[in-house]
A = this chain, B = another copy of it.
């Protein structure tokens, strides 16, 4: 094709020569582009990110972005993965229960995505970046160390992944605005006789998301590796 061979490798911008010119505009770089994209996504939402706006914020022309980035999809990929980095807690896993480790990682995962609500609705259609793979790896290692059978390992990893994805996406899409909330409540009480159980349990109004998340996570972990002492309920 033309010049340009790039496709999201790391980049060093030319020194941005501090000699002759003004040289205070730090010039474009992949890092700045991604950071600004995240900023824009955070403040303006998913539709708020346009190449022109992004370039504006960077003090550059729209087409300049395309030197560093293949296309808009690529910007999404990079922004998403950049937001999902995970630092394991300091303690070695020997001092902690494996269950604690999983819960910590998964809750942190959810927290990351809720901090950047666009990430949840983006993740489904994006490729797996290194940070995401890292989390999956960690999850697998921990479960495996916890004695989950190899035959159950993938199902265990995926079910946790699915759970986090589902929970985060749902959460992100539910509390968008008070207007929506009021409308939902209205519609619900209108239809309360058609959906008596939902109405009775106040499913759509309950806003203890964190508690529900934790509880469901416990259900799932109980299923993956049953706790010996867990009593049968009901």
A residues lining the B interface (CB < 8 Å): 120-121, 124-128, 130, 133-134, 136-137, 140-141, 144, 146-150, 152-159, 161-167, 169-170, 172-173, 180, 184, 191, 194-198, 201-204, 206, 211-212, 215-226, 228, 230, 232-234
Contacts and interface: CB of A to CB of B under 8 A. Distances in A.
29 contacts: A124-B172, A133-B191, A133-B194, A136-B195, A137-B194, A140-B203, A147-B234, A150-B201, A154-B206, A156-B216, A158-B216, A159-B163, A161-B170, A162-B162, A162-B166, A162-B216, A163-B163, A163-B166, A165-B169, A166-B166, A166-B167, A220-B220, A220-B223, A221-B223, A222-B223, A222-B226, A225-B234, A226-B232, A228-B232
Contacts of A202: 154
Contacts of A154: 201-203, 206, 212
Contact of A121 (B124, B161, B184): B124
User: Taking chain A's interface residues, is the majority helix, strand, or loop, or is none over half, making it mixed?
Assistant: helix
A123 B115 CA distance: 20
Q: Identify the 3 closest CB pairs spanning chains A and B, nearest first.
A: A159-B216, A162-B166, A219-B223
Contacts of A164: 166
A158 B208 CA distance: 12
Given A154-B212, A216-B155, A223-B220, A125 B136 contact: no
Contacts of A217: 159
Contacts of A152: 215, 233
